[in-house]
Structure 1
Amino acid sequence: MSDTERLVVRSKLSDTVAAKLESLIVAGQLEVGAKLPNEKDLAQQFGVGRSSMREAVRTLEAAGFLRSSHGVGVFVVSNSPRRMGPVDQSLMGGFTMSDLFETRMAIEAKAAELAAQRLTDHHSEVLHSIIAAASAPGITEHDFVALDARLHRQVAEASGNPLLLYMWESISPQFAEYSHKVIGLPSRLERAHADHCGIVDAITARDPELAARQAHEHVAAVQRELQSLTSIERWRPEPRPTPVSSTGAGEGR
């Protein structure tokens, strides 16, 4: 089986697990406020690998059912979250989010790898200052999106490759449009910030392989979230009509 085929199988499996986990929450078997078992135990409970379980949890975080608290665990926060409409995936210039994801994976993974190899004290200070600003309690979505763009541009600059920086700046209008469209997804800001922290930690640790992997996964994660949300909405059955009692039916005749 090819790597692509494995990813497709894992994606479909995580969608199924997300739907099953949601049904437990909606049915009240997992109550609001309940803490989920750790990832390993949860994966064993559902009979899947940890990667599929992790993606299923992220799907339900994006849908508003769950919330992760770093170092504490994952909690049920709603059994009937507000449904968001489908995200418009078209971007200015006739491009799509899929185009942007593929391009970002190519640019950002290499930029992060080179930044980890060529990091200067100046760029390290700037990256940490951006992370600190984004960590401010109560930060607005607008301000976070601006810092998000600044962070990715700074990584490209830190790569020391002016052409990579030029390529990043060429897609920055589409990136800004995309960011404003998805930042309102439940817990998206928190997950993006956690990913950014991981990327910067890898770069400042001067670990090129980890930096590239973190940057690639950062982009892939939100792409999977959007795909999974679409899949789980298609899967969810229509609510069954309330049965009419025989007495009520007789009285209505």
Structure 2
Amino acid sequence: MSPLGPLRPSPLVDQATRRIEEQIAAGHWPVGGKLPGEVTLAKELGVGRSTVREALRALAGAGMVQSRQGAGVFVTADRPSEDWSARLRRAELAHVYEVRTVVEVQAARLAAVRRTEADLAAMDEALTARLAAGEGGDAAFVTADIALHTAVVAAAHNPVLSDLFAEFVPVLKERLVELVGLLELRKGDPNHGHPAHAELVEAVRRGDAEGAGQGLAAELEATRARLLAA
């Protein structure tokens, strides 16, 4: 009897993808092995070849199979590859902060060298907005804080650094709101970290690459240390 079995009507491509993925994960088709042809898979699943073709395309996108011209489709992994965003979401925040520091400190150094008047205006505006957000809740404050950091990274004029930092933003927004409350970072100081952030902007303004990098590194490390101690 076929290990697959016919499918019931519903989103057939999704079902086909999931069924083939399950069989690969179970070792029915081991890594390095060759999958049956489209005709065979279509017959066993009770679907058309186009559905099988779409399912195999989805599995290829997940890094589980690879089509080899003239040879067929081969299994390359027994589970879907995890994208960067998903990896960040389940990572410990302290580890995220370590990588964030690498990205942002270098961006701050570059920003001090490459910033334009428009960049400085954007940073000033973001710094003012961060200060004003101190009167609001934690979510508004975190959003304003990240906006300032984003403006500094943008001033580096390196699209790769900007893209890397953008990957951190959703995770940071979600996790930092919890962190601010948990560690009571704003207790007694609703504008937590304002002097350090103001000095960062000034270091970038005066073209002090080392000052900008060192100041930001110290600020991020202080938060990471509090995370580890919590």
TM over 0.5: yes
| Aligned position for 1:203 | 204
Q: Over residues 96-134 of structure 1, what are the superposed CA-to-partner deviations in whole Å (9 max), with x where a residue is unaligned?
A: 112211111100100000000011000101101111122
Q: Which amino acid aligns with 1:194?
A: P
| Aligned position for 1:24 | none
Q: 2:172 aligns with which of 172, 175, 182?
A: 175
Tell whether the 8 Å contact from 2:112 to 2:206 is kept in structure 1 after alignment.
Answer: yes
| Aligned position for 1:160 | 157
| Aligned position for 1:151 | 148
Q: 2:184 aligns with which of 183, 186, 195?
A: 186
2:128 corresponds to 1:132: yes
Q: CA deviation at 1:219?
A: 0.9
The root-mean-square deviation of aligned C-alpha atoms, in Å, is 1.8
Q: CA deviation at 1:92?
A: 5.9
Q: Over residues 207-240 of structure 1, what are the superposed CA-to-partner deviations in whole Å (9 max), with x where a residue is unaligned?
A: 0000001111111011112233x4xxxxxxxxxx
2:115 corresponds to 1:114: no
In structure 2, relative to structure 1, the CA distance for the partners of 1:211 and 1:94 (3 Å cut) is same
In structure 2, relative to structure 1, the CA distance for the partners of 1:186 and 1:93 (3 Å cut) is closer
| Aligned position for 1:226 | 227
Give 1:24-43 correspondences, 5 Å limit: none
Q: Distance in 2 between matches of 1:186 and 1:93?
A: 23
Could you tell me which runs of 5 or more consecutive residues in structure 2 were left unpaired when the two chains were aligned: 1-86
Q: Which amino acid aligns with 2:172?
A: F
Q: Distance in 2 between matches of 1:140 and 1:175?
A: 16
Tell whether the 8 Å contact from 2:124 to 2:201 is kept in structure 1 after alignment.
Answer: yes
Q: Distance in 1 between matches of 2:130 and 2:227?
A: 23
Give 1:9-158 correspondences, 5 Å limit: 93-136=89-132, 138-158=135-155
Tell whether the 8 Å contact from 2:112 to 2:207 is kept in structure 1 after alignment.
Answer: yes
Q: Distance in 2 between matches of 1:179 and 1:226?
A: 11
Q: Which amino acid aligns with 1:133?
A: A
Q: Which amino acid aligns with 1:203?
A: V
Q: How many residue pairs end up in the alignment?
A: 139
Q: Distance in 1 between matches of 2:155 and 2:149?
A: 10
| Aligned position for 1:12 | none
SS of 1:186's equivalent? coil
| Aligned position for 2:77 | none
Q: Over residues 24-73 of structure 1, what are the superposed CA-to-partner deviations in whole Å (9 max), with x where a residue is unaligned?
A: xxxxxxxxxxxxxxxxxxxxxxxxxxxxxxxxxxxxxxxxxxxxxxxxxx
Question: More relative contact order in 1 or in 2 (CA 8 Å, sep 6+)?
Answer: 1
Q: Which amino acid aligns with 2:184?
A: P
In structure 2, relative to structure 1, the CA distance for the partners of 1:138 and 1:113 (3 Å cut) is same
Q: Distance in 1 between matches of 2:156 and 2:165?
A: 11
SS of 1:135's equivalent? helix
Q: CA deviation at 1:178?
A: 2.1
| Aligned position for 2:19 | none
Q: Distance in 1 between matches of 2:89 and 2:226?
A: 24
Q: Distance in 2 between matches of 1:119 and 1:103?
A: 23
